[in-house]
Structure 1
Amino acid sequence: MLFRRNSIFTVLLAIVYIVQAACSSGGDDSSAPSGPSGPAPAGPVAPTVTSSVNQGGVNEPLNLQLNASGTGPFTWELTTAQTSLPAGVTLQSSGLLSGTPTQEGQFPFSVKVTGQGGSTTKDLKLTTLGSTFRASVVNATTTPGPVAEANGASGADARSFDPGISADGRYVVFDSAASNLTPGLNPGGKLQVYLYDRLTGLVEMVSVSSTGTPGNENSIVATVSQDGNVVVFDSFANNLVAGDTNGSRDVFVRNRAANTTVRISQLASGEAPCPNPNPDCNSFDPSISDDGSVIAFGSLRQLAASDTDDEADVYLYTGSTTLTRLTPGVGGPPAGLAGSPSVSGNGRFVAFASAKENLIAGDTADGVSDIFVYTVGTGALRKISSAPGGTAANGNNFGPSISGDGRFIAFSSEASNLVSGDSNGFSDIFVVDTNASTPAPKLIVNLALNQGDGDSIFPSISRDGKLLAFDTTATNYDAASPDTNGVRDIYIVDRSCSVDFGTPPSGSCTFKRASIGSNNALGNNQSIFPALSGDGTYVAYFSDATNLIPDVGDTNGLRDAFVTKRQ
């Protein structure tokens, strides 16, 4: 009813206003101008092409819509200036680049767009990525700036390390001392953290302060949230935030959308104590949840009131200035180191490695590092790297990687007693199903029950826990594709290859070498430290090989960050 009364009142006011206006005008006024008043309407606006960088994959359907501002509708066409589109791709009059490219590389082309306000031309470029491509690629221009367009034909002018990848494989983070990834920002040759966007081809320096100043010392070991917005890394730089006076390696969080950088390895009041005899007191190895809200890292600093020893601990950050110590121990301060945390995608669980002997009740002083899983919220902690019957592992366990829901945890182990029959004498990859009534590690083998004939380390598990990537010197995992290059390679394996030794794996057990060129050639040098995307489609790693991108060419002679799409 209120709406109806207000409507009637409005109509009455309008009638009164019209009557008053007619009376005050004195009737017809022959001096009044005829026709419409005010400025003449604007004519059609000439088009401006707003599209810039475009990227796709070889043998993948491409649908890229070019865009323009101005008065439409628009029609698009290629000009004769540059018409280099890859085979299989055409430009439709609607501005849609479509088709399935069959060539890898960079293809400059020129478009003409015509609208009601005229026409204009613009030079563009389409980059098509092969099954293996390089993330540490350089700017196509020399214009200084924190974000640069990548040029797949040129590599960084210094080595690149420590790749990480987002859940969908779009964003890759890595560190590099190169001066040409974002020209003008790293003249001192310090290691900086970069983010590469696979879809746009842009490279961005993220180890910068909130004002955009690059770190003045080395920044390393980054991980990235699912949407690519939050990047966490550790750094020796003291100019990323105000008041950083500890002279040690700290953990920082970069929010790209908010353009902020904050330090999280500190107390609410500022610098944390550094116990002797560890004058460096570094914080290190951060891991992040999919949404970027939960971060775990290791630190030698006393970042909690319960931390009174001089050993490294694992801490949890959830946005509060108060950190949670995950490794306080029972019955007194625990002796030994803890680190290498891995946060589940949902942020509910943290797996980590620790040599501390009294983290849980009943743990024995076995002198080796073990794998633990912590439940966020409840504080529950349990060890998952024991041999059958709860027997302590007889070798070190390290490098855990946890699935998106925390159910599956993969890790490396030097132990020979986690499963019966482990006799190869090398480090192996194990997987634990934490939902099992009695969680027990299972060994990764191939269909022929072959254990690796070399060390296998640094596993990375997919969000659903179905796939694992790891690096290995073993040569006998994939009988269909003999490994003859004599160096470390990256493999992707199905979890069904994890068994109690003696029980053959199922037929879905497959090994695929990932560190191969776009032409399927074996890498001619080592590839190490894999990071598998959450969906298991892409694996990032760094490599000294120079033959992984033959169609583009790798001529910098340096270690680069690469990404391979699982075949």
Structure 2
Amino acid sequence: MMRTGWGTTRRVRAAVSVSAAVCAVTAVLPGAASAEPARGALGAGVERVSVASDGTQGDGASVGGTITSDGRRIAFSSVAQNLTTGFPMTYEKVFVRDRRTSQTLQMSTSAPPIERRPVISGDGEYIAHWGLIQRDTKSFLSQLESQGTIGINCSGLSCSQPSLSEDGRYVAQVGTSGRPAVRQRIEVQDWHANTTQTVFEFDHILPSRPSISGDGRFVAFEDGQAQDVFVWDRTDDTSAGPIEGPSEAATLVQLSRDGSRIVYLSGSDTYVQDESSGSEQLVPDARGLAIDPTGRYLLYAPRDTSGPSLVLRDLVTGTDEIVSEQPASAGTDAVSTGGRDVVFHSTADDLVPGDTNGTSDVFVRRFY
């Protein structure tokens, strides 16, 4: 690996922390998930969001789903051609569903022929996505208000896997050089100031996905070759890492938007690291998928496939709530503030009435 732009590097098991002491690992054992929301059932339920503005179900598969901090807007990708009006395109496209107005907007009207699952800024104003143009991948940023799309710069031939700050100003992404790619770097672009910073440069192209905090200060990323996770502080120009599990291998899941906690996988377990204290919580036999902006609520998939497929854990109380009994999947940024809403996709046809399209749809479960 080649390090660029770091003032100080500290090798620690914990994430950013002023303490050099060995972190205590608190095991949070899976409890019996309640079939009823622990925070009250008022307004609780499942809603399908991969629908047209008039409620018409999609005529093609919809996947992914990232949600704003307040739960109002959800971005997802779909090959459905009937979610919005206009010239039909058979490739995967990016949509935003506004749950308050019940409007569905297509955000990638001039998109490349292959889309990747989008991310939405915490305030819901910007959507980032990436796709293949000829031989290279490029990242794009769409503004909801103007529905305009701009390219996101990177120093290499290809850009991919963008992560957005709360207001969409800062974009962390992977840039690769060479064709075929031979090396890659983690970058942060401030598109307001038109500047790009290199966080870390690798001499390999193994997985190195970034996750940026809501204020754009912290960037977590993984080194797929070393199987470690690092955190960079853009304000202090310092780094912490590697963050490792007991097996000395870690895969990044997500940094919470407030920067307080980082989720990573190690072996068959999930770890949630507290940035201020350096302590860890262990969720055994579980695959962490996302964490809410406050760092309190963790969405995970139990390794035991005989039970629910998705569960939301309150990391303070240790209690669980079932998100989906049916087979379902979810990605990062899938939980709104306070764990109120969780977005996921599933091929199950009994989550909401009238699901007859026989394909994958995007849903949101609201707990209260």
| TM interval, short-chain normalised | 0.7 to 0.9
**Inter-CA distance 336–284: structure 2 relative to 1 (3 Å threshold):** closer
Other-structure match for 1:327: 200
The one-letter code matched in structure 2 to 1:317 is Q
Q: Superposition RMSD on alpha carbons, in Å?
A: 2.4
Other-structure match for 2:149: 261
Highest CA radius of gyration, 1 or 2?
A: 1
Picking from 459, 465, 469, the partner of 2:299 is: 469
Answer whether contact 1:313 1:337 (CA < 8 A) is retained. Answer: no
The one-letter code matched in structure 1 to 2:315 is R
Other-structure match for 2:32: none
Matched, 1:562 2:348: no
Answer whether contact 1:458 1:529 (CA < 8 A) is retained. Answer: no
Other-structure match for 1:196: 97
More helix by share: 1
**Inter-CA distance 150–458: structure 2 relative to 1 (3 Å threshold):** farther
Structure 1 regions of 5+ residues with no counterpart?
1-57, 61-129, 139-148, 209-213, 238-245, 275-281, 303-308, 357-367, 388-392, 415-426, 445-450, 476-482, 497-507, 516-521
The one-letter code matched in structure 1 to 2:175 is S
The one-letter code matched in structure 1 to 2:188 is L
Other-structure match for 1:383: 241
Query: How far apart are 1:59 and its partner, in Å?
Result: 4.9
Query: How far apart are 1:299 and its partner, in Å?
Result: 2.4
Query: Please, what TM-score do these two structures have when normalized by structure 1?
Result: 0.54
Picking from 157, 169, 172, the partner of 1:296 is: 172
Other-structure match for 1:157: 59
Distance between the aligned counterparts of 1:465 and 1:166, measured in 2? 15
Matched, 1:171 2:73: yes
Distance between the aligned counterparts of 2:290 and 2:111, measured in 1? 29
Runs of 4+ residues over 4 Å off in structure 1: 333-336
Picking from 16, 28, 45, the partner of 1:131 is: 45
Aligned residue pairs: how many?
Answer: 324
Partner of 1:257, secondary structure, is coil
Query: Please, what TM-score do these two structures have when normalized by structure 2?
Result: 0.81
Distance between the aligned counterparts of 1:527 and 1:384, measured in 2? 28
Partner of 1:323, secondary structure, is strand
The one-letter code matched in structure 2 to 1:432 is Q
Other-structure match for 1:182: 84
**Inter-CA distance 255–188: structure 2 relative to 1 (3 Å threshold):** closer
Matched, 1:345 2:214: yes
**Inter-CA distance 408–258: structure 2 relative to 1 (3 Å threshold):** same
Distance between the aligned counterparts of 1:315 and 1:265, measured in 2? 10
Matched, 1:412 2:265: yes
Picking from 183, 202, 212, the partner of 1:311 is: 183
Distance between the aligned counterparts of 1:467 and 1:526, measured in 2? 18
Distance between the aligned counterparts of 1:353 and 1:435, measured in 2? 20
RCO higher in structure (CA 8 A, sep ≥6): 2
The one-letter code matched in structure 1 to 2:270 is I
**Inter-CA distance 266–348: structure 2 relative to 1 (3 Å threshold):** closer
Partner of 1:137, secondary structure, is coil
Partner of 1:535, secondary structure, is helix
Query: How far apart are 1:311 and its partner, in Å?
Result: 2.1
Matched, 1:369 2:170: no
Superposed counterparts of 1:431-442, under 5 Å = 431-436=272-277, 439-442=278-281
Other-structure match for 2:139: 251
The one-letter code matched in structure 2 to 1:292 is G
Query: How far apart are 1:204 and its partner, in Å?
Result: 0.3
Distance between the aligned counterparts of 2:338 and 2:190, measured in 1? 25
Distance between the aligned counterparts of 1:384 and 1:132, measured in 2? 39
Answer whether contact 2:162 2:173 (CA < 8 A) is retained. Answer: yes
Picking from 376, 397, 400, the partner of 2:250 is: 397
